[in-house]
Chains A and B, each alone.
Chain A
Amino acid sequence: MSSEGNVAVHVHRDDEATKLGMWLFLFTELTLFGGLFLIYAVYRFTHQADFHIAAQNMDTFIGALNTIILLTSSLTMVLSITAIRRGSKKLSLLFQGITIFFGFIFLLNKYFEWSHEIHLGNFPGSEILLSKSQGDILFFGLYYVMTGLHGLHVIIGMIVIAIMMRFTLKNVITRNNNIKLEVAGLYWHLIDIIWIFLFPLFYLIS
Chain B
Amino acid sequence: MADNSIAISSKGHESYIDHKGKHSGLLGWIFSTDHKRIAILYLVAISSWFLIAVLLGFLIRLELLTPGETIVGAQTYNAFFTLHGIIMVFLFVIPAIPAIFGNFFLPIMLGAKDVAFPRLNLFSWYLYIIGGIFVIIAIFLPGGAPDSGWTFYIPYSIRTSTNMIFTLSAAFILGFSSIVTGLNFIVTIHRMRAPGMSWFRMPLFPWALYATGWIQVLVTPIIGITLLLIIVERVFRVGLFDPSLGGDPVLYQHLFWIYSHPAVYIMAVPAMGVITEIITVYSHKTIFGYKAIAFSSLAIALFGSLVWGHHMFSAGMSDTANFIFSLLTFLVAIPSAIKVFNWTATLYKGSIDLEPPMLYGLAFIFLFTIGGLTGIMLGTLSLDIHLTDTTFVVGHFHYVIFGTTGFAFIGGLYHWFPKMFGRTYNKKLAKISFWILLVGFNILYFPMFVMGWLGMPRRSYDYLPEYQSYHVISTIGSWILILALIIIVYTFIKALRSGERTHEMNYCGGETLEWKVETPPTHENFDEIPVITGGPYDYKQNELESEVE
Contact = CB atoms under 8 A, between A and B. Distances in A.
Contact of B183 (A24, A31, A43): A24
Contact of A124 (B113, B238, B529): B238
Contact of B240 (A12, A27, A33, A138): A138
A27 B214 CA distance: 10
| B interface secondary structure, majority | helix
Nearest to B191: A17
B528 A145 contact: no
Given A28-B218, A31-B218, A134-B239, 19 more contacts: A1-B529, A5-B529, A17-B191, A20-B186, A20-B187, A21-B117, A21-B187, A24-B183, A24-B186, A24-B187, A31-B222, A32-B222, A39-B255, A42-B248, A43-B240, A124-B236, A125-B237, A138-B247, A141-B239
B130 interface: no
Contact of B222 (A20, A25, A34, A145): A34
A105 interface: no
Given A3-B528, A21-B183, A25-B183, A14 B191 contact: yes
B190 interface: yes
A32 B238 contact: no
A53 to B, nearest CB: 15
A29 interface: yes
A28 B117 contact: no
B191 A145 contact: no
| A interface secondary structure, majority | helix
29 contacts: A3-B195, A5-B529, A7-B524, A16-B191, A17-B117, A17-B191, A20-B187, A21-B183, A21-B187, A24-B187, A27-B217, A28-B221, A31-B221, A32-B225, A33-B225, A35-B258, A38-B255, A39-B255, A43-B240, A46-B248, A134-B245, A137-B245, A137-B246, A138-B246, A138-B247, A141-B238, A144-B236, A145-B232, A145-B240
Given A21-B183, A31-B221, A124-B238, A39 B251 contact: yes
A40 B222 CA distance: 14
A14 B229 contact: no
A42 B254 CA distance: 12
B236 A20 contact: no
A103 interface: no
Nearest to A144: B238
A135 interface: yes
**Nearest 4 interchain pairs by C-beta:** A134-B246, A32-B221, A35-B225, A141-B238
Given A17-B191, A27-B217, A39-B240, A7 B528 contact: yes
B413 interface: no
Nearest to A1: B195
B433 interface: no
Interface string B213-230: 000011111101110010
Interface residues of B, number: 42
A142 interface: yes
Nearest to B190: A20
B239 A138 contact: yes
Interface residues of A, number: 41
B222 A35 contact: yes
B179 A28 contact: yes
Contacts, number: 109
Nearest to B228: A149
Contacts of B247: 138, 141
Interface string B504-529: 00000000000000000000100111
Nearest to A142: B240
Nearest to A42: B251
A12 B529 CA distance: 14
Nearest to A16: B191
B191 A5 contact: no
A46 B195 CA distance: 55
Interface of A: 1-3, 5, 7, 12, 14, 16-17, 20-21, 24-25, 27-29, 31-36, 38-39, 42-43, 46-47, 124-125, 130, 133-135, 137-138, 141-142, 144-145, 149
Contacts of A138: 239-240, 245-247
B531 A17 contact: no
A144 B113 CA distance: 46
Contact of A7 (B225, B232, B527): B527
B116 interface: yes
Nearest to B247: A138
A118 to B, nearest CB: 12
A111 B316 CA distance: 41
Interface string B243-281: 001111001000100100000000000000000000000
Contacts of A134: 239, 245-246
Nearest to A7: B524
Nearest to A38: B255
Nearest to B188: A17
A135 B187 CA distance: 43
Contact of B217 (A3, A24, A130, A142): A24
A25 B113 CA distance: 23
A46 B184 CA distance: 40
Interface string B100-139: 0000000000000110110010000000000000000000
B87 to A, nearest CB: 24
Contacts of A33: 225
B188 to A, nearest CB: 8
A135 B239 CA distance: 10
Contact of A17 (B187, B218, B226, B524): B187
Nearest to B258: A35
Contacts of A27: 217-218
Contact of B116 (A14, A31, A39, A144): A14
Contacts of B116: 14, 17, 21
B217 A28 contact: yes
A159 to B, nearest CB: 17
Contacts of A125: 236-237
A3 B238 contact: no
